[in-house]
Amino acid sequence: MDLASARRLAANCLCIGFEGHELPGGARELLSSGVRNVILFSRNVRTREQLTRLIGDIHDAAQGPVIVSVDQEGGRVQRLGQSIGVMQLPPMRTVGAAAAAAAAAGAQLARDLRALGFSLDFAPVVDVDTNPANPVIGDRSFSNDPAIVAQCAAAFITSMQSGGVAACAKHFPGHGDTSQDSHLELPRLPHAMDRLRAIELPPFTAAINAGVACIMTAHVMFEAIDPDVPATMSRQVLSGLLRGELGYDGVIITDCLEMQAIADRYDIGEAALQSMQAGADLALCCHTLDRQRSIIERVAAEATRSTTFASQLADSATRVAGLHRFASARPVTPTCRGCSVA
């Protein structure tokens, strides 16, 4: 594969974030070079008018299909506020007793996000909250009962995706029993496979059966599966367990590679490459332009060197294109570009 083609495919398989209320020049450059996936945070939002204008600018810069995504779960993870017309949902723990309530939450999020121009929501959390000392999951989870999590996750996903917004089940193969926050350090879990199959995996199986558009990886070391690298970078976890044993054929996206569980231990370009070699399709890099460029360059360089990886990268780009087709099945038309709604 020639370098120009490899860079284009590598860019197709990167999801970027950036600072500010306007599209910066570096992000615009990446979009024009083939990046087709963007995540926005509260740092990018001031008013409804400004947000819809920004999303429109992202589409214009990409000059092609683009996924604009957000973390809008409910509870303490809500990047979009009521002031821009997005209903504030309670934590999923509050929702978790009934699948009907989970379905209603998914439908509400789809209505709100689609109207703004979002096509992917990094929700729901399908981790099972089995550790009361967990500093990062807690009430983001539907329940400490895997059967309830599975039931509610499936209802949420079906409802959200019926409303035209792609869902993402996270964090595979399970972040619910850790005592550490992978934003800050690398958690390790010693659970045997029998435990994982009984507790952590059923909600992901339910999400897959519900047709979830993508699954996000966990920056957690699962010693029974792969004692050497975090799940995000493990072929045994992603290709063996998720694709092989669970039969998932949709998009796999990494959690942000700039989280300290990864960034404190690995070069970002190498981490992205190893994640994609392991089976991930999209590398998520939410902050730093230089790191985003380094991911494209490292992944592209490997695709020019290895025909095996070049083929794998092309397959990933095809799966990501499928996610774009899903998300654009109902055209994204921001309704407030040029209006004065605050």
Mapped onto helix, strand or coil, the DSSP state of residue 37 is strand
**Lookup result for tokens 């039969």:** 247
Q: SS3 for 251?
A: strand
3-state secondary structure of 56: helix
DSSP label of 236: I
Pairing mode of beta strands 188-189, 221-222 = parallel
Distance CA 152, CA 303 (A): 40
Which residues, in sequence order, are bridge partners of residue 217? 172
* Residue 240 φ/ψ, nearest 5 degrees: -75, -60
Selected catalytic residue, list 112, 127, 129, 255: 255
Note if 191 is an active site residue.
no
User: Which helix (H) or strand (E) element contains residue 11?
Assistant: helix 3-12
Distance CA 255, CA 280 (A): 10
Determine if residue 48 is left, alpha or beta; phi over 0 gives left, psi from -120 to 50 gives alpha, anything else beta.
alpha
One-letter amino acid at 139 equals D
The catalytic residue among 145, 183, 267, 287 is 183
Report the candidate in 215, 192, 213, 193 with the shortest Cα–Cα distance to residue 127.
Answer: 215
Q: How far apart are CA 153 and CA 159, in angstroms?
A: 10
Buried b (16+ CB within 10 A) or exposed e, 149-185: bbbbbbbbbbbbbebbbbbbbbbbbbbbbbebbbeee
Is 59 designated active site? no
Residues carrying an active site annotation: 183, 255
